[in-house]
Chain A
Amino acid sequence: MIQELTQNRITDLFAHKSERLLNVYFTAGFPELTDTRTILRGLEAAGVDLVEIGMPYSDPVADGETIQQSNGKALDNGMSIKALFDQLAGCRSEITVPILLMGYVNPILQFGVANFCKKCQEVGVDGVILPDLPLDLYLAEYASVFREYGILNVHLITPQTSESRIRYIDEESDGFIYMVSSASITGSVQGISDPMRAYFERIQSMNLRNPRLIGFGINNHETFDTASQYANGAIVGSAFIRHLQEKGTSAESIQAFVQTIRA
């Protein structure tokens, strides 16, 4: 069981808002190396509730083509964890929206887990999503460091996750639970099917202690709206990456994207 964290923008957010939360993902260093702050400002101005910044990785196995390509471009542009922290330094003077970093475990191991958590705290990152760091390993090896620096670690559940494991994940989670909408990689799901709704209902009826955001396959107003009926909100990733690529990173472009999702 997690000790109550003193102050965290993510827990604060859920304490005040429980419906139709929108979390938007973008890859750091994409489309251009220095776009991170521009996109952050744009998302804040457009009123998203949380922002998830992807730390690019050469082998993102849980991601589909769109996000993998954005990762590759960002790495070619020269993005790294160190460069990202440099870009985020001082961002809390202008950005209030909770920030999560999403990425794979190997670059963080090389950066140093304690060093990583310390830098997260320094620049104002509130939480992380690390799909290939399993819960048991996290608890055994790293949880104490994350807690020391007040960084939340968000865990995933999928339609195949057993009820007992969902209870366990709920018990050991703080912030929110990331509900992967279906057996899939990112960007590969079209629409919300009946089996997905049945899964959403099943989780909804479990009365978990953590709030839930649904991700994977949320790409327009209809899917956001449906997901929000079954959870506290949803996460958009690949659709926003495609939008940035096609329509650019201006405040107007980002505003327009967020409006089409929220409508």
Chain B
Amino acid sequence: MQTTLEPTTSFEVSDKGFYGHFGGAFIPEMLYPNVEELRQNYLQIIADPAFQAEFWQLLEDYVGRPTPLFLAKRLSEKLGATIYLKREDLCHTGAHKVNNTIGQILVAQRLGKKRIVAETGAGQHGVATATVCALMGLECIVYMGSIDMERQKPNVDRMRMLGATVIPARSGSQTLKDATNEAMRHWINNPVDTHYIIGSVVGPHPYPDMVARFQSVISQEVKKQLLAKTGTQNPDYVVACVGGGSNAAGAFFHYLNEPSVRLVAAEAAGQGVSSGHSAATTALGKPGVLHGSRTILMQTEDGQVVEPYSISAGLDYPGIGPLHAHLFDSGRGDFYAITDDEALQAGFQLSKLEGIIPALESAHALAALEKMNLKSDDVVVVCLSGRGDKDLATYSKHL
């Protein structure tokens, strides 16, 4: 793609919001004031010592951080390498998503917003958003694809119990992409008093950078914990699943400029990369614009967005965050396409070997381990992004 904006070579976002050729803020004028207000204020707000103190206090006392870095001995033995699991599944609400919603609700408060809108796929981000809205007493509206509402019903009930209004997105594939469209429309219709808490490292600048910063607590803790356990901060690999890619961005963050650490992303291949029922974005996509940023996108020759498919609602998205597109494009990251079956088997394996039922999203990251040709002295950190309770109905069909 031709560009006169100089592509960045580093993995930090440029002041225009780009990672390499990817990113930016492709938004209708109707959203410009909202996004601009955020862009002009987010770094200053986050850097404020009072913000930092409140953020870290809540992460510790409410979320339950730091989450453990667990040496999975039986899995390590099985796979022939040293495997650590970063236990984001032990966060309050059951996934890493809450790291970001805590940060964004504090930003929203400081911007004087009265209402929160969010999109959700698996429901983990919706639950995390509804949770922080309850905590802070803000009105919460969550858009969720009507198909996702059926397959992730416990999370719908949790959001409602927390006081959120859950609105079904009935357009398109009725999944995460469409929930995102509907949430953006809601924001267009309510520009002044509403903050949109995007749940992944997607959307217009500054969202990908802001969400990555809030999730970077993951890699920050990993460095410290790994040093204490092994004497070195750096593993050979950090592995995480990528739908939009927020847990991966958080797990990779402090390793982006450590070339000795390979960054491994597991994408959802669904029923197979070539099956027509897949969400393997880097395998199937090409550069394009969706939901406010230029990224790698699954699309037709005519530039229409292709409906993705994955057994895991949280990975069922036709794009990836622009940071991940840059990691792929630059060769900094290794991307693996994991089928539904491979993810299910990895989920069952972890449950039996370690007594941990992973979210289907995280099971994709675990399945990547099988493809990585690990050596016996390799040290691997897998971001276990969420717990599998919400996926029991899906798992039980394949028991």
Could you list which residues of chain A lie within 8 angstroms of chain B, going by C-beta atoms? 57-59, 61-62, 64-65, 68, 72, 75, 80-82, 104-111, 113, 131-134, 137, 140-141, 155-158, 160-162, 165, 180, 183-185, 188
Contact = CB atoms under 8 A, between A and B. Distances in A.
Interface in B145-160: none
Contacts of B29: 131, 134, 155-158, 161, 180
20 contacts: A59-B290, A61-B181, A62-B28, A68-B171, A106-B290, A106-B297, A106-B299, A109-B287, A110-B302, A111-B303, A134-B32, A137-B26, A140-B4, A140-B5, A141-B2, A156-B30, A158-B30, A183-B191, A185-B30, A185-B188
A180 B188 CA distance: 11
A110 B32 contact: no
Nearest to A182: B189
Nearest to A108: B303
A107 B303 contact: yes
A82 B302 contact: yes
A105 B26 contact: yes
Nearest to A83: B302
B288 to A, nearest CB: 5
B393 interface: no
A181 B179 CA distance: 25
A82 B289 CA distance: 19
Interface in B171-195: 171-172, 177, 181, 184-185, 188-192
Q: Which one of A64, A162, A184 has the greatest number of beta carbons of chain B within 10 Å?
A: A184
A156 B31 CA distance: 11
Contacts of B5: 137, 140-141
A133 B292 CA distance: 9
Given A140-B4, A141-B4, A160-B192, A58 B28 contact: no
B106 interface: no
B1 interface: yes
A195 to B, nearest CB: 12
A107 B27 CA distance: 15
B290 A162 contact: no
A113 B1 CA distance: 10
Q: How large is the interface on B (under 10, 10 to 19, 20 to 34, 35 or more residues)?
A: 35 or more
B24 interface: yes
B3 interface: yes
B37 to A, nearest CB: 10
B261 interface: no
B235 to A, nearest CB: 37
Q: Which of A108, A132, A158, A184 has the most CB of B within 10 A?
A: A132
Contacts of A59: 172, 177, 181, 290-291, 305
Given A109-B1, A140-B4, A141-B2, A162 B33 contact: yes
B30 A180 contact: yes
7 pairs of A and B residues whose beta carbons are closest in the complex: A110-B303, A107-B303, A156-B29, A131-B28, A160-B33, A62-B28, A58-B304
Contact of B303 (A65, A109, A160): A109
A189 B319 CA distance: 32
Given A158-B191, A184-B189, 5 more contacts: A64-B185, A81-B302, A106-B299, A108-B303, A133-B26
Given A107-B304, A111-B303, A160-B33, A184 B288 contact: no
Interface in B202-248: none
B25 A134 contact: yes
A107 B26 contact: no
Nearest to A111: B303
Contact of A110 (B26, B181, B299): B299
Contacts of B48: none
B301 interface: yes
Given A59-B290, A140-B5, A161-B32, A134 B26 contact: yes
A108 B171 CA distance: 23
A197 to B, nearest CB: 18
A61 B172 CA distance: 12
A106 B185 contact: no
B66 to A, nearest CB: 38
Interface string B44-67: 000000000000000000000000
A81 B301 CA distance: 11
Contacts of B30: 62, 131, 156, 158, 160, 180, 183-185
Contacts of A185: 30, 185, 188-189
A106 B297 CA distance: 10
Given A160-B33, A160-B191, A183-B190, A107 B185 contact: no
Interface in B280-311: 287-292, 297, 299, 301-305
Contacts of A184: 30, 188-189
Given A80-B302, A185-B188, A105 B289 contact: yes
- Counting chain B CB atoms within 10 Å of each CB, which of A81, A82, A104, A133 scores highest? A104
Contact of A106 (B3, B181, B192, B303): B303
A151 to B, nearest CB: 17
- Most chain B beta carbons < 10 A, residue from A72, A106, A165, A184: A106
Contact of A58 (B1, B26, B33, B305): B305
